[in-house]
Structure 1
Amino acid sequence: MAITLFLFPSPPSLFVNSMSILNLLALIGGGYMELIGKNKQYAKFYNPSASNTSNEKEKSKLSSRIGMLVFYTPSFFLGVASFSVFRLQDLRFLMAISVLTFHFFKRIFEVLFVHKFSGSMMVDDAITIGLSYFVSTATMIYAQYLSQESPEPAYDLKYVGLAMFLTGISGNFYHHYILSSLRRKGDREYKVPKGGLFDLVICPHYLFEIIEFVGVTCIYQTGFTFCFTLGTVFLLMGRSYATRKWYVTKFGGKFGKNVKALIPYLF
């Protein structure tokens, strides 16, 4: 298969190979659930009336800011620790650890200094999502470590990947900043975002996140990371579709009909 020219051989690890399939299926499933309107409980278009609200009141809640920190902080510290655990590795491995660590550092920075929050989330949701990020990050790094003894792929994409990663993470941050600038302190009203690529798609931050993770895949060039990124594409397609539908419902004629969900002029 042509894809094998771009990837390291599958490692002799039942865990990594199984996680590749499970991650892909879970992310595709998540995208489908978003597509049909069964949104995550921390999403702004989540409909609490569709669930058992009396049971929800009995659950412990976290502020959205704290919940998001629970999402990202364990994976960030895992990335930092990996520099000490995996010493004397090659340039690709150093790049691989660095981009994931910087990805989660940027997420934490945004939670602390960029995003504006007004809601809450369930403690068990925050822990579950944080654990899934942690396990996926650990598996990415472990799969890359196992590939160290394998022949290099026919096409070395790590520098292309670095360029895509930097483009994606910069574009993602820029559009997150635009979103946060829409609401002043204490303002809880949502507005139709303008500026950047928001005039073409309602979720340019997701588009750039996809570019970022395609870049990560090009740096790693492992089967697990490829499956993770492919699943992420399906997840963000579903989420962006749900986001566009939410904006159309909420703002009606104020929302531009030509503004797509994720890909300018196409989707």
Structure 2
Amino acid sequence: MVISLFFFPSPSSLFVNTMSIFNLVALIASGYMEMSGKNQPYAKFSDAGDSNNSKDKEKRKLPSRIGMFVFYAPSFLVGLASFAVFPHQDPRFVMVISVLTIHFFKRILEVLFVHKFSGSMMIDAAITISLSYTVATATMIYAQYLSQESPEPAFDLKYFGLGMFLTGITGNFYHHYILSTLRKKGDKEYKIPKGGLFNLVICPHYMFEVVEFVGVSCICQTVCTFRFTLGTVFLLMGRSHATREWYVSKFDGKFGKDVKALIPYLF
């Protein structure tokens, strides 16, 4: 089969197969909801419709910085712990754990030192998203561990994938940095991003995140990670579409019509 040229055989693990399919469906559904205008309760969408919040609801909110830290910290710890739980593994497995751990460590550093926040989010939303990232990360690592019992795919893509991962994580950071410089200290007004690839797409940071996770899939070469990457693509398509619609409505007549959501000249 063609799939065997590029992927390890799917492991006979009910947990891995169930969770990878569940993650795929959940991510596609989230992307569809974003596309439909039902935005996730964080970032610039977090305060939409919040003007009449009750005092009880306000007590169940977190500052966005803390909420975003909660998103990523458990997944980083899972990656870090995997080095001790699965010692003396093959180079591909070590590479998989490394790139996933680096991905979430970089996210934590950005939350602490790069991003600027002005909103808040619900505690239950932060916990739900954190749990989904943590389970997905653990599932991908465990699927990779099980794949070591199988023959290698005919085409070894791990070093190509490493190049894509490094390109993606670098481009993602660069555009996050540009976003962080838009607002000065104490400034809470949103501005149209300029510089980098923002003249082509409104979410180049998401575009490079897609590149990053395609790279992770090429390093892993497991069906489980491919499903997660495919779901991530659908989620970020929906998220970038929602972001573009927000900018169009927020900056009526000032937002460039030729600026796409995620893919230059196409979408």
Instruction: Provide the aligned C-alpha RMSD in A.
Output: 1.5
SS where residue 107 of structure 2 aligns? helix
Contact preservation (8 Å) 2:47, 2:119: no
Contact preservation (8 Å) 1:38, 1:46: no
Contact preservation (8 Å) 1:206, 1:236: yes
Single out whichever of 1-10 and 76-85 deviates more from structure 2.
1-10
The match for 1:122 is 122
Q: TM-score, normalised by structure 1?
A: 0.96
Write out per-residue CA displacement over residues 155-195 of structure 1, whole angstroms, 9 at most, x where no aligned residue: 11000000000000000000000000000111000000000
Q: What CA distance in whole angstroms lies between the structure 1 residues aligned with 2:51 and 2:30? A: 17
The match for 1:90 is 90
The match for 1:188 is 188
Residue 43 of structure 1 deviates from its aligned partner by 3.2
Q: Is it true that 1:232 corresponds to 2:232 in the alignment?
A: yes
Q: What CA distance in whole angstroms lies between the structure 2 residues aligned with 1:221 and 1:25? A: 20
Contact preservation (8 Å) 2:182, 2:191: yes
Residue 50 of structure 1 deviates from its aligned partner by 8.2
Q: What CA distance in whole angstroms lies between the structure 2 residues aligned with 1:52 and 1:144? A: 47
Q: What CA distance in whole angstroms lies between the structure 1 residues aligned with 2:22 and 2:50? A: 27
Matches within 5 A, 1:209-228: 209-228=209-228
Q: What CA distance in whole angstroms lies between the structure 2 residues aligned with 1:133 and 1:52? A: 31
**In the superposition, relative to structure 1, how do residues 260 and 60 fare at CA in structure 2: closer, same or farther (>3 Å)?**
same
SS where residue 53 of structure 1 aligns? coil
Write out per-residue CA displacement over residues 195-235 of structure 1, whole angstroms, 9 at most, x where no aligned residue: 00000000000000000000000000111100000000000
Q: Gaps (5+ residues) in structure 1?
A: none
SS where residue 256 of structure 1 aligns? coil
SS where residue 44 of structure 2 aligns? coil
Q: What CA distance in whole angstroms lies between the structure 1 residues aligned with 2:21 and 2:57? A: 35
Q: What CA distance in whole angstroms lies between the structure 2 residues aligned with 1:128 and 1:234? A: 19
Q: What CA distance in whole angstroms lies between the structure 2 residues aligned with 1:205 and 1:152? A: 32
Write out per-residue CA displacement over residues 117-163 of structure 1, whole angstroms, 9 at most, x where no aligned residue: 11111111111111111111000100000001101011110000000
SS where residue 95 of structure 1 aligns? helix
The match for 1:134 is 134
Q: TM-score, normalised by structure 2?
A: 0.96
Contact preservation (8 Å) 1:31, 1:235: yes
SS where residue 251 of structure 2 aligns? helix
The match for 2:163 is 163
Residue 261 of structure 1 deviates from its aligned partner by 0.5
Residue 47 of structure 1 deviates from its aligned partner by 6.1
Identity of aligned residues (%): 76
Q: Aligned letter for 2:146?
A: L
Q: What CA distance in whole angstroms lies between the structure 2 residues aligned with 1:5 and 1:51? A: 54
Q: Is it true that 1:20 corresponds to 2:20 in the alignment?
A: yes
SS where residue 219 of structure 1 aligns? helix
Residue 5 of structure 1 deviates from its aligned partner by 1.7
Q: What CA distance in whole angstroms lies between the structure 2 residues aligned with 1:52 and 1:2? A: 56
Q: What CA distance in whole angstroms lies between the structure 1 residues aligned with 2:50 and 2:190? A: 22
Q: What CA distance in whole angstroms lies between the structure 2 residues aligned with 1:129 and 1:183? A: 27
Q: Gaps (5+ residues) in structure 2?
A: none
Contact preservation (8 Å) 1:210, 1:229: yes
Q: Is it true that 1:199 corresponds to 2:199 in the alignment?
A: yes
The match for 1:173 is 173
Q: What CA distance in whole angstroms lies between the structure 1 residues aligned with 2:5 and 2:182? A: 45
SS where residue 62 of structure 1 aligns? strand
Aligned length: 267
